[in-house]
Amino acid sequence: MLKSLFHWKVWVNILVAAAVFVGLVWLTFRWLEVHTNHGKEIPVPNVMNKSVQEAIKILDDSGLDYEVDSFKYDPKYRPFQVLQIYPSPGSRVKDGRTIVMKVNPRTYAQVSVPDVLDRYKGLAFRQLEQVGLKIGDTIYEPSIQRDAVLRMLYNGSTLKPGALLPRFSTIDLVIGAGPKRNITVPNLVGLTVQEAKAIIAQNLFEVGLVEHEDGGSDESDIVYYQDPEAFDVRDQGMQVDIWASKKTPAEMGAKISQLNSIYRIKMDVSEPSYYDDGAVYREPVQSAPRPEMPRPETPRPTVPETSTPRPEVKKQEAPKATTETKPKASEPKPTTSTPVTPKETPKKEEKPKAKKVVVE
């Protein structure tokens, strides 16, 4: 078997196979050189800061393809000005190579307007600024939704949520300033239901109960009754109820009287009147002058005078023990309504000495 491997025919087959393989490889690379223009390179032209139309013309003349992409808008450059290319200018590329150009767009990229209606104004400001929109004027108008966003305006037109606007666009907001007070209720009797609803909305009221006599919903029916009554004063947002019929208000007198007994209850607030049988002359009574109350005077304290009784000596026939006489008690102090003042204690006087009488 080993001898067969070294046979000359085997080596001839190996050499033929190697030659065929080398020939195929050479032909493949040669075809690639021709197909890819190997060695034939052209420099990338410099189209920086040119308009996109000029850059496209230059690339076409150079035999290069192009692709245009928008760059971040920069107001310092002209719209559609080429700001960047890849590969960079001066690089050598094959004929037909695609050159990517990034140009300055005409304006900012568009953003979707968020839905901020009926939301608090502070929250609406933050949401609009997050998407790149600016707040212009804030217009306040009467509304029961105080400090809530009622409408969005762009260039004077109403803006709906979800609309596309250029980034950094300025929009105006209409914000509620609270309900308006003391609005006169319009007269709706004699108008059609459609006209009455429009007038109610114009006067900042809300449409309440709408009752048709026939139970239908025809907007051409004539209003013959309303509540609150015409020319009453109400606040903004209050409901106005209306009753309508195919007939005129003059023909609905019975129904109007019935509704008046329900919605127009009048209370007698007049003062009661008194009737006399006959006229009686009464002399005017003069009110007596009010007696003046005497001011209380503080009495000065008086010291009662005390009299010292003189001692009496009785003559006795037989010698007896001497007796002492005591002074009489002073008279009691008169009582008054004045505050009690401290009494002064009289000085004690010396008692008279008893005399001895000798009887012979």
d(CA 210, CA 196): 10
Within this chain, do residues 191 and 255 fall inside the same structural domain, yes or no? yes
Q: Among residues 144, 198, 135, which one has the least CA distance to residue 168? A: 135
**195 and 257 share one domain:** yes
User: Residue 34 carries which side chain, given as an amino acid letter?
Assistant: V
> Amino acid identity, residue 224?
Y
Number of residues assigned to the chain: 360
Question: Within a domain: residue 283?
Answer: no
pLDDT tens digit at each of 360 positions of the chain = 556 666 777 778 888 888 888 888 888 877 777 666 666 788 889 999 899 899 999 988 888 888 988 878 888 889 889 998 998 888 888 877 899 999 998 888 889 999 999 999 999 999 999 999 999 999 998 888 889 999 999 998 999 999 999 888 999 999 998 888 888 999 999 999 999 999 999 888 989 999 998 888 889 999 999 999 899 998 888 899 999 999 888 888 889 999 988 888 766 556 655 555 444 455 555 555 565 665 655 556 555 555 555 555 444 444 444 444 444 444 444 444 444 544 545 555 555 555 555 554
| 85 lies in the same domain as 136 | no
Confidence at residue 272, expressed as pLDDT on a 0 to 100 scale: 58
- What pLDDT, on a 0 to 100 scale, did the predictor assign at position 172? 95
At residue 188, the pLDDT reads 92
End position of a domain, from candidates 158, 176, 194:
176
**350 in a domain, yes or no?**
no
Residues 192, 159 within the same domain: no
127 belongs to a structural domain: yes
Residues 93, 154 within the same domain: no
**Distance between CA atoms of residues 19 and 231, nearest Å:** 114
Pairing of strands 233-234, 183-184: antiparallel
What is residue 243's predicted lDDT score, i.e. its pLDDT?
Answer: 94
Q: Residue 203's domain spans which residues?
A: 183-262
Domain boundary among the residues 53, 78, 103 is at 103
Encoded tokens for 119: 């939301």
Q: Tokens standing for 133?
A: 């929109």
Considering the domain boundaries, does residue 288 fall inside one?
Answer: no
pLDDT for 154 equals 94
Indicate the number of domains in the chain. 3
CA distances (Å), origin 345, targets 305, 306, 350: 11, 11, 15
**Cβ partners under 8 Å of residue 213, min gap 6:** 221, 243, 244, 245, 246, 247, 252, 255
SS3 (DSSP) at 23: helix
Give the pLDDT confidence score for residue 159 in this predicted structure.
Answer: 92
CA-to-CA dists, residue 224 to 13, 53, 208, angstroms = 117, 72, 15
Same domain, 124 and 96: no
At 350 the pLDDT is 55
Collapsing DSSP states into helix, strand and coil, what is residue 27?
helix
If asked whether residues 92 and 131 sit together in one domain, one would say no
Residue 2: predicted pLDDT: 57
In angstroms, the CA 232 to CA 224 distance is 17
Query: Which helix (H) or strand (E) covers residue 212, if one does?
Result: strand 206-212
CA distance 10 to 5: 7
List CB contacts of 142: < 8 A, sequence separation 6 or more: 176, 177, 178, 179, 180, 204, 236
Q: Same structural domain for residues 151 and 212?
A: no
144 and 197 share one domain: no
CB-count burial class (<10 Å; 0-12, 13-18, 19+) for 292: exposed
Question: Rounded to an integer, what is the distance from CA 233 to the centroid of its chain?
Answer: 26
- Looking at the structure, tell me whether residues 129 and 71 fall in a common domain: no
Q: Is the dihedral of CA 223, 227, 229, 230 positive or negative?
A: negative
Name the pTM for this structure.
0.46
Task: Write the CB contacts of 67 (distance below 8 Å, at least 6 apart in sequence).
Answer: 98, 99, 100, 101
Asked if the structure places residue 149 within a domain, the reply is yes
Cβ contacts of residue 293 below 8 Å, gap of 6+? none
User: Considering 262, 286, 309, which residue would you say is the last residue of a domain?
Assistant: 262
Whether residues 187 and 258 share a domain: the answer is yes
Provide the CATH number for the domain around residue 56. Answer: 3.30.10.20
**Could you give the CA distance from residue 297 to residue 338 in angstroms, rounded to a whole number?**
9
Beta-carbon contacts of residue 301 (< 8 Å; ≥ 6 apart):
341
> Would you say 183 and 234 are in contact if contact means Cβ atoms under 8 Å apart?
yes
- Assess if residue 197 is contained within a domain: yes
Residue 280 resides in a domain = no
Measured CA angle at 256 (ends 251, 259), to 5 deg: 155
State residue 142's pLDDT score: 86
The pLDDT of residue 321 is 44
* 272 within some domain: no
Token couple for 218: 């025809």
